[in-house]
């Protein structure tokens, strides 16, 4: 079979399983069958299987000088496989990486894996992150992923963080997702938030979706508001959508 996109699922299963048994042979095979970024993705699949069984050996291999050029890509497979078996170990590894590398991207992988298991423990973990940049990124990712299906749950969680800078982007993502499902309910929630960027931009996201689907209802809600800098972005969003 061609070692390309059309057979990617089949090769992913092969390389993951092979990585659990004989990862070095699987890596050699991947590099023989493909070059450049294609080989990099294949090796990342091997590392996902390898790290689920022998994370330290997989980390040592990724850290070899000759792998420096592809290390960022390799770490995606490494972290995903490691987290599937040892979440705390994988999390500690990611948090030990330099902030200037692909740590934010890998934290999104960790967050997604945690959310597949449980929202409550994931939100608690996010709250206890000590680095502000990490906290902001994780809060945003949790809100983006979880509010697609459970916006009310995310809204209740974020209410206690609404005044914090690290939660602003998370609230905006909540407004975007919730506004597509229940804009009136979302608007009422955002109306009660403290003044600031999260309230303004979140409300703007809500009104944008609302005006697209129910322009009369969105207009009626906006008409109840006194003109102010807090509502100006929402009015602008309404005008932008309805004038198209």
Residue with tokens 């330099």: 98
Residue 99 has a pLDDT of 85
147 neighbors 119 (Cβ within 8 angstroms): no
φ, ψ dihedrals at 242, nearest 5°: -75, -15
Residue 163 has a pLDDT of 95
Residue 22 has a pLDDT of 98
Centre a 10 Å sphere on the Cβ of residue 99 and count the other Cβ atoms it contains. 10
Mean pLDDT by 10 residues, the chain (244 residues): 90 97 98 94 97 98 97 97 97 93 95 96 97 97 98 97 97 98 97 95 97 96 92 95 91
> Angle, nearest 10°, between helix axes 151-159 and 183-191?
0
State both tokens at 224.
């109840």
Residue 18 has a pLDDT of 98
Residue 101 has a pLDDT of 83
Listed in sequence order, the residues at least 6 apart from 147 whose beta carbon sits closer than 8 Å to its beta carbon are 154, 155, 173, 174, 177, 178
Residue 149 has a pLDDT of 96
Listed in sequence order, the residues at least 6 apart from 91 whose beta carbon sits closer than 8 Å to its beta carbon are 83, 110, 125
Residue 234 has a pLDDT of 96
77 neighbors 43 (Cβ within 8 angstroms): yes
Residue 124 has a pLDDT of 98
Q: Measure the CA–CA gap between 195 and 229, rounded to whole angstroms.
A: 10
Residue 56 has a pLDDT of 98
Residue 57 has a pLDDT of 98
What pTM does this model have? 0.91
DSSP, residue by residue, the chain? --SSGGGHHHHHHHHHHHHHH-HHHHHHHHHHH--HHHHHHHHHHHHHHHHTT-HHHHHHHHTSGGGGGGHHHHHHHHHHHHHHH-HHHHHHHHHHS-TTTTHHHHHHHHHHHHHHH-HHHHHHHHHT--SHHHHHHHHHHHHHHHTTT-HHHHHHHHHTTTTSGGGHHHHHHHHHHHHHH-HHHHHHHHHTSPSSHHHHHHHHHHHHHHHHH-HHHHHHHHHTSPP-TTTHHHHHHHHHHHT-
């Amino acid at each position: 079979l061609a070692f390309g996109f059309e057979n990617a699922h089949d090769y992913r299963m092969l390389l993951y399983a092979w990585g659990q048994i004989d990862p070095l042979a699987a890596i050699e095979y991947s590099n023989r069958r493909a070059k450049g970024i294609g080989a990099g993705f294949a090796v990342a699949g091997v590392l996902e299987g390898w790290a689920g069984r022998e994370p330290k050996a997989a980390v040592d291999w990724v850290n070899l000088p000759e792998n420096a050029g592809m290390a960022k890509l390799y770490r995606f497979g490494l972290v995903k496989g490691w987290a599937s078996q040892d979440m705390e170990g994988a999390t500690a590894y990611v948090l030990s990486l330099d902030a200037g590398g692909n740590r934010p991207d890998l934290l999104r992988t960790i967050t997604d894996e945690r959310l597949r298991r449980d929202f409550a423990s994931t939100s608690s973990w996010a709250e206890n992150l000590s680095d502000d940049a990490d906290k902001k990124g994780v809060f945003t990712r949790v809100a983006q992923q979880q509010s697609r299906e459970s916006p009310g749950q995310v809204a209740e969680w974020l209410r206690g963080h609404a005044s914090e800078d690290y939660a602003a982007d998370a609230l905006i993502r909540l407004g975007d997702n919730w506004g597509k499902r229940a804009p009136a309910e979302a608007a009422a929630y955002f109306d009660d938030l403290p003044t600031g960027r999260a309230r303004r931009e979140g409300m703007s996201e809500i009104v944008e979706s609302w005006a697209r689907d129910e322009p009369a209802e969105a207009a009626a809600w906006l008409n109840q508001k006194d003109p102010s800098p807090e509502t100006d972005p929402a009015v602008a969003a309404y005008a932008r959508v309805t004038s198209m």
